Amino acid sequence: KAGVTQTPRYLIKTRGQQVTLSCSPISGHRSVSWYQQTPGQGLQFLFEYFSETQRNKGNFPGRFSGRQFSNSRSEMNVSTLELGDSALYLCASSSYRGNEQFFGPGTRLTVL
Amino acid sequence: KNQVEQSPQSLIILEGKNCTLQCNYTVSPFSNLRWYKQDTGRGPVSLTIMTFSENTKSNGRYTATLDADTKQSSLHITASQLSDSASYICVVSAEYGNKLVFGAGTILRVKS
């Protein structure tokens, strides 16, 4: 069974731009969560989607948004990028809400 | 307030030695506790998951313990190998699995 895939793996953007990251969950998994990881803050929860609906949201500004499609694939978007948005963005999927999460390799975003 | 605290923040040990990582939590209501291993630049990978009624669980050279009364968990690594060098993250699931609380992680470096 293929694992969670994230694209792209690496991304370089400049301040003010916007970016879209993609996550394909494990086949059959319906819950997708997004996390931001920085050296100083550890893993910070962004949001969780289940059945195309956002179920939980972390404490991030409205510049961070996401969505989930009918095939459970998910995208997250960050608008008006800031230097502090540089981080590893991780996607995790689970078969159902509350079940064990399986993480993807992450997308390394660098904002210059 | 739901919190997970891990200690030590970082640790350096010699190859072949044992080590123990600590995780204290104040999360309610408790659902389960997971230990993840995260190699640099990769997504976290689950090592163990324990529910309230389990007090020990092993995965090869990794053994996790849970004391639900004192709200403490430990991850013991036996006969460490260079490949054990990674960040180890304790994650507690609350609210019947609908909320995950992440520890900041312990960075382990195994030297030859």
**Three-state SS sequence of chain B:** CCEEEEECCEEEEECCCCEEEEEEEECCCEEEEEEEEECCCCCCEEEEEEECCCCEEEECCEEEEEECCCCEEEEEECCCCHHHCEEEEEEEEEHHHCEEEECCCEEEEEEC
CA distance B42 to chain A (A): 5
Strand order across the beta sheet in which B3-7 lies: B3-7, B19-26, B72-77, B62-67, B56-59
Among partner residues A43, A97, A104, which is closest to B98 by beta-carbon distance? A97
> Across chain A, what does the average pLDDT equal?
93
Residue B97: pLDDT band (50, 70, 90) is low
Q: According to the model, what pLDDT value does residue B8 have? A: 97
Cβ(B109)–Cβ(B40) below 8 Å? no
Average pLDDT of span B28-39: 91
Instruction: Tokens 């044992």: give the residue.
Output: B18
Q: According to the model, what pLDDT value does residue B93 have? A: 87
Cβ within 8 Å, pair A43-B31 = no
Measured between CA atoms, the residue of chain B closest to residue A6 is B43
Residues of A with CB below 8 A from B34's CB? 100
CA distance A63 to chain B (A): 22
For the stretch A58-102, pLDDT in tens is 889 999 999 999 999 999 999 999 999 999 999 999 988 777 889
> Across chain B, what does the average pLDDT equal?
93
- CA angle in degrees (0–180, nearest 5) for B42-B45-B50: 155
User: Is the pLDDT reported for residue B14 higher than 80?
Assistant: yes
Indicate the pairing of strand B106-111 with strand B10-14: parallel
Among partner residues B93, B98, B104, which is closest to A42 by beta-carbon distance? B104
User: Hey, what are A105's tokens?
Assistant: 């390799």
Cβ(A18)–Cβ(A83) below 8 Å? no
CA distance B93 to chain A (A): 8
Report the amino acid identity of residue A9.
R
Cβ within 8 Å, pair A92-B43 = yes
User: Is the pLDDT reported for residue B36 higher than 80?
Assistant: yes
Percent of chain A exceeding pLDDT 70 equals: 99
Cβ within 8 Å, pair A42-B102 = yes
Residues of B with CB below 8 A from A90's CB? 43-44
For the stretch B62-94, pLDDT in tens is 999 999 999 999 999 999 999 999 999 999 987
Average pLDDT of span B4-33: 94
Average pLDDT of span B85-105: 86
